[in-house]
Amino acid sequence: MNLRWAKTIGRLLLTATWIGAWLVGHGVAQSTLSSSWTPYRESIRSVAASGESVAPLVEEELARARETARRDMGVSPAQAVCEVPCEVPCEAPATINAAPIFAGQPVMASSGNGYVMATSPYVDAGNPAQWKWRILPADVVWSSYWASVHEPRLGFAAFYEQAGTGFLDVTLGGRASLLRYGTEGGNGQRPVGWELQIEGAGMPRLNLDNNWDVDATDFRAGVPLIYGRDNWQWKLAYYHLSSHMGDEYAIRNGGAAALAQRINYSRDTIVTAISVYPLPAWRWYAEAGWAFHTDGGSQPFEFQFGLDLAKPGPTTALGTPFFAINGHLREEQNFGGNLAVQAGWLWRGPQTKVLRMGVHYFNGKSNQYEFFDQFEQQIGGGLWYDF
């Protein structure tokens, strides 16, 4: 079983790599800022050659650069330098003093060696002036892993298990930032800095073939401390998790006898994790957890790792495709566990809020810890909202 599971992970990672390579090749995973100047190069040449002032056109192009940069959350200040070739020397440097989209240095235009240069309106995360204390910011530095089925969020997955039974796994919760010392995100820009979060969720399982009975519910609550800088994020967190058998499940399976045999699975866990965006569309992550208190068959160590893949920045109403894969290894399963894969369509707002809809596949030990030692293969679909 473990060998088959490892082969499945290998195939899916190869698939993810192929998808990522396709996205990069088509410009989805890269900055689009420099190419945005292309339609205007001939205009610059013709205006400059005629002897007329190029200042109005420069201002128009700088406005376009600001708007493009605003939509591209993966562009750093060093990357967001646009060049527009002018066949003849340009005029004296022009400065646009309009307020930038994000607080920081104004957008500048300058000429030299036949080029007009425009700096990005993006906040320099290393600038101490941008790091401030922020109470209850609207976005988060660290987001939940998309394909990890026990992360706090709002959502559900409806699926058939291999025995043919239909289930609905619901997650009712989320994560929020309480306090941050750092920058403000928004308009496609990831926030950075130190952040204290709170997370929590109830995760009931409904049996669709038995009057939508509640078979079991897991509860999770935690307090993560986050640090984010550039394309990297780190997490140190505590969380409590406990499982509970559903009353209706107990009634169907002998009542008091079933309750007497229920599993009191619980754990209090310290977690450390790292996340990185090697390209704007790619998020790789890895996490290790150690439980200082366990019960009901739970053992101390657990590990998870995976990939979230989607075009960065706010989407239009049409959305954009996404792919996510997660592996979760648990000591009580001899460091086996489960593999989850999700793919479909995604919508992202100007901050870090994400709505996803797509197919769901799960293979391994149950994600409902009342049944933690039972094998499940889930095939279905779902809707997930991370905020």
Q: pLDDT per residue over 303-319, tens digit each?
A: 999 999 999 989 999 99
Specify whether 12 is located in the same domain as 107.
Answer: no
Query: Percent of the chain at pLDDT above 90?
Result: 56
**C-beta atoms surrounding 272 within 10 Å:** 13
Specify whether 332 is located in the same domain as 227.
Answer: yes
Specify whether 359 is located in the same domain as 379.
Answer: yes
Dihedral class, residue 22 (left if φ above 0, else alpha if ψ from -120 to 50, else beta) = alpha
Are 175 and 137 a contacting pair, CB within 8 Å? no
Are 243 and 370 a contacting pair, CB within 8 Å? yes
Angle at 262 between CA 261 and CA 264, to 5 degrees: 130
Specify whether 325 is located in the same domain as 230.
Answer: yes
Are 343 and 328 a contacting pair, CB within 8 Å? no
314 assigned to some structural domain: yes
CA neighbours within 13 Å on the CB side: how many for 296?
19
Specify whether 371 is located in the same domain as 261.
Answer: yes
Specify whether 326 is located in the same domain as 277.
Answer: yes
Question: What's the Cα-to-Cα distance from 87 to each of 62, 111, 206, rounded to whole Å?
Answer: 19, 12, 68
Specify whether 95 is located in the same domain as 166.
Answer: no
pLDDT of res. 326: 98
The predicted model scores a pTM of 0.70
Residue 82 structure tokens: 């646009």
124 assigned to some structural domain: no
Per-residue confidence band for 116, with pLDDT thresholds at 50, 70 and 90:
very low
Question: Alpha-carbon distance 58 to 39, whole Å?
Answer: 13
Q: Which helix or strand (DSSP H or E) is residue 256 part of?
A: helix 256-260
Domain-ending residue, one of 118, 149, 169: 118
pLDDT of res. 12: 55
Nearest to 196 by CA among 227, 220, 173: 227
pLDDT for residue 19 is more than 90: no
Of 217 and 82, the one with more pLDDT: 217
Q: What average pLDDT does range 89-112 have in this prediction?
A: 39
Q: What secondary structure does DSSP assign to 147-195, as a single string?
A: T-TTSS-EEEEEEEETTS-EEEEEEEEEEEEEEEEE---BTTBPP-EEE
Question: Alpha-carbon distance 112 to 93, whole Å?
Answer: 8
Q: How many domains, the chain?
A: 2
Look-up of token digits 């292309």: 38
123 assigned to some structural domain: no
pLDDT for residue 91 is more than 70: no
Specify whether 54 is located in the same domain as 81.
Answer: yes
101: containing domain: 31-118
126 assigned to some structural domain: no
Specify whether 112 is located in the same domain as 166.
Answer: no
Are 338 and 120 a contacting pair, CB within 8 Å? no
125 assigned to some structural domain: no
114 assigned to some structural domain: yes
pLDDT for residue 324 is more than 50: yes
Specify whether 283 is located in the same domain as 340.
Answer: yes
Residue 14 structure tokens: 């190869």
pLDDT for residue 200 is more than 90: yes
pLDDT in tens, 31-82: 333 333 344 445 555 655 666 665 676 677 677 766 665 554 444 444 444 4
pLDDT for residue 256 is more than 60: yes
Look-up of token digits 């090749």: 25
pLDDT of res. 261: 81
Q: What average pLDDT does range 345-366 have in this prediction?
A: 94
Specify whether 257 is located in the same domain as 285.
Answer: yes
- 8-state DSSP, 108: B
Beta strands in 28-114 (DSSP E): 82-85, 109-112
pLDDT in tens, 118-151: 343 344 555 667 899 999 999 999 999 999 999 9
Question: Alpha-carbon distance 287 to 8, whole Å?
Answer: 21
pLDDT for residue 16 is more than 80: no
Backbone phi, then psi, for 82, in 5-degree steps?
Answer: -100, 145
Nearest to 361 by CA among 98, 29, 15: 15
Angle at 320 between CA 69 and CA 123, to 5 degrees: 20
380 assigned to some structural domain: yes
Of 92 and 144, the one with more pLDDT: 144
Question: How confident is the prediction for the chain on average, in pLDDT?
Answer: 79
Q: What average pLDDT does range 261-288 have in this prediction?
A: 95
Label residue 216 exposed, middle or buried (CB < 10 Å: 0-12, 13-18, 19+).
Answer: buried
- The set of long-range contacts for 7-11, using a CB threshold of 8 Å and a minimum separation of 24, is 8/339, 8/363, 9/327, 9/339
Specify whether 135 is located in the same domain as 103.
Answer: no
Which CATH number does the domain housing residue 257 bear? 2.40.230.10
Domain-ending residue, one of 87, 118, 149: 118
321 assigned to some structural domain: yes
pLDDT in tens, 140-149: 999 999 999 9
